[in-house]
Amino acid sequence: MIHTMANTKEINERIEHYKREITVTPDNAEAYINLGILYNSQRNYTEAIKAYKKAIAIKPSFVEAYYTLGVTLFNAGMHEDAISFYEKAIHLDPTFSAAYYNIGVIYSHNGSLDKAVTAYELSVKHKPDFAEAHYNLALAYNRLKRYENAKASYNNAIKHKPDFAQAYYNLGGVYSTLLQFEDAIEAYNKTIEIDPKFVQAYYNLGHAFSALKHHKKAIAVYEKALEAYPQYPEVLNNMGLEYYELADYEKAAEMFNRALGVNSNFPEAHYNLGLTFFAQHKNDEAIKAYENALAINPEFAEAHFNIGFVRFSMNMFNEAIAAYSQAIKLNPQFAEAYYNMSMAYSQIRNEHEAIKALNEAVRLKPEIKNRKN
C-alpha cells in the first residue's frame, strides 16, 4: 500500500520503518516507492530518485514507480527526464490519464502549447471527468488564441466540478476577449456566487458592465469589491472612471485621489485625475496631473498627448505642438497626435507642417481624413 504524507516527525518515522522493511525484504518494490514518496515530500530529491529507480529495477512493470519518479524529477527541475518517465508509465498503461496530464503541465510550462494540448486531450480522453485537465487544456487553448476551444474546455471543467470558481472566472475572461460581455457578466457572477471574496472577479465584472456602458452597475460592483478590500487602488481608479463617464467629476476626482492615497505612484490615476480636471476647465491642475503621471512613467505617450490637448484649448499652439511631438516620439503610430499636431500647425499658419502631419495621420488611420474639425 502506498502511503500519503503526514507531519515531519511522522515522515521521519515512516522513513525508518521502510528502511527496516527493506532490510528484511530487499526486493520489496512497494517499500522503495513509499520511501521515495517520503523523501520527495522532504524535497530530498536525490534519495527519492534512488528509491524509485531501485523499485523499477526490482519490478520493471511497476507503472506507479515510473510515474512517481517523473513527479520527483519535475519537482527537481529535470523536466525532460520527467517526460521520459511519464512516457514509460504510459507505455505500460496507455490509459494513464495523470501521466498525460503531467506531460501537459511540462509542455505548458516551457511554452510548447500544441504539445500541451495533445497531452491534455489524451488525459481527458482517458478520464473524461478530470476537471483540472479540462481546465489546463482551456488555459493552453486560450494562450493559443483558440477561444472557442477554450470556452468548451472551461465548460467541461465546470461540468465535472460545478464549484470551480477559477474556471468560471477564466471563462469570463474569454468572453470579455471576444467582446461577449453579457456572457462574461454571467460567468463572473457565478464566480462570485461560489467565492464571494474573489475580488478580481468583481474587478472584471465591473469592467464588463463598463464596456456595456452600465456605469451605475459597474460602480455597485466596485463598491462590493471595496467592502472586502478597501485599499484596492485599481478598483478605486475604475470607480473614478465610471463617475467620470457619468459626468460626476467631483466624485470621480475623489475616487482618483483615494487611489493615489493608497498608491501615489499610480500613473493612470494621475492621468485620469487630469481628465477630470480638464472636464471641469481646471487646465493648470490638469496639466499638473499629467506631469505627475509622466514623472512616474516617462513613456506615457497619452499623457503628453493630453497636455497637448489642454495647451491647444488654451491657444498655446507651440506648446501643444511640442507635447504632441513628445507623444509621437514615444509612439510613432499615434495617428491622433499627428492629426492634432496638424491642427495646431494650422493655427500658427504653418501650412507645410500642417499638411505633412495630416498626411501622416491619414497614412496611419485613413478614416481620420473624414473627420470634421
105 has a pLDDT exceeding 50: yes
In whole angstroms, what is the distance from residue 339 CA to residue 333 CA? 11
Other C-beta atoms within 10 Å of 6: how many?
13
* pLDDT of 367 higher than 60: yes
Closest C-alpha among 342, 328, 337, 335 to residue 362: 335
> In this predicted model, what pLDDT tens digit does every residue of 224-254 receive, in sequence order?
999 988 999 999 999 999 999 999 999 999 9
Residue type, 76: A
Hey, what's the cell of 253?
Answer: 476626482
Specify whether the CB–CB gap between 30 and 54 falls below 8 A: no
Domain for residue 324, yes or no?
A: yes
> How high is the mean pLDDT of the chain?
94
Q: 32 pLDDT band (50/70/90 cuts)?
A: confident
Question: Residue 10 has what pLDDT?
Answer: 86
In-domain check, residue 357: yes
Residue 212 falls within a domain, yes or no? no
Identity of the highest mean pLDDT range in 11-25, 69-83, 294-308: 294-308
CB 268 within 8 Å of CB 259: no
Grid-cell match 487611489, residue found: 259
pLDDT value for 117: 98
**224 CB burial (10 A radius; 0-12, 13-18, 19+):** middle
CA gap 140, 126 in Å, rounded: 19
Residue numbers of the domain that contains 345: 299-373
Residue 343, in any domain of the structure? yes
Cell of 332: 510613432
- Report the pLDDT value the prediction gives residue 373, as an integer from 0 to 100: 60
pLDDT in tens, 210-231: 999 999 999 999 999 999 889 9
Q: Residue 282 pLDDT more than 90?
A: yes
Concatenating the DSSP letter of every residue in 63-124 gives: HHHHHHHHHHHHHTT-HHHHHHHHHHHHHH-TT-HHHHHHHHHHHHHTT-HHHHHHHHHHHH
Identify the residue with better confidence: 64 or 159. 159
Q: Is the pLDDT of residue 364 over 60?
A: yes
**CA–CA separation, 139 and 249 (whole Å):** 40
For residue 159, the model assigns a pLDDT of 98
Q: What is the pLDDT of residue 172?
A: 98
pLDDT for 331 beyond 90: yes
The CATH number of the domain holding residue 344 is 1.25.40.10
101: cell is 496530464
Cβ neighbours for 152, distance < 8 A, ≥ 6 positions apart? 138
pLDDT in the model for residue 30: 87
pLDDT > 90 in the chain, percent: 83
Give the pLDDT of residue 3.
45
The Cα–Cα gap between 256 and 207 comes to 17
Q: How far is CA 27 from the centre of its chain?
A: 49
State if pTM tops 0.85. no
Q: Which residue has the higher pLDDT, 52 or 298?
A: 298
**Residue showing cell 478530470:** 130
Task: List the one residue out of 74, 65, 10, 76 whose CA is nearest residue 38.
Answer: 10
Band of residue 52 on the pLDDT scale cut at 50, 70, 90: confident
Residue 131's CB is within 10 A of a number of other CB atoms, namely: 19
Closest CA to 373 of 350, 334, 343, 348: 343
The answer to the question of residue 100 being in a domain is no
The reported pLDDT for the residue numbered 6 is 52
Per-residue confidence at 48, pLDDT binned at 50, 70, 90? confident
Spatial CA neighbour of 168 closest among 144, 133, 193, 199: 193
Cell 465535472 appears where? 160
Any idea what DSSP says for residue 153? H
Residue 245 lies in a domain: no
Tell me whether residue 370 is in a domain.
yes
Q: What is the rounded CA–CA span in Å between residue 46 and residue 73?
A: 9
With cut-offs at 50, 70 and 90, classify the pLDDT of residue 15: confident
Q: Is residue 29 within 8 Å of residue 62, measured between CB atoms?
A: yes
The helix/strand/coil state of 128 is: coil
Binning pLDDT at 50, 70 and 90, where does residue 1 land?
very low
For 111-137, the pLDDT digits (tens) are: 999 999 999 999 999 999 999 999 999
CA pair distance 256, 340, nearest whole angstrom: 27
Strands (E), 112-165: none
* Total structural domains within the chain: 1
pLDDT band at 355 (very low <50, low <70, confident <90, very high): very high
Residue 63 has pLDDT above 90, yes or no: yes
Residue 366 lies in a domain: yes
Torsion on CA atoms 361, 210, 307, 282, rounded to nearest 10: 140
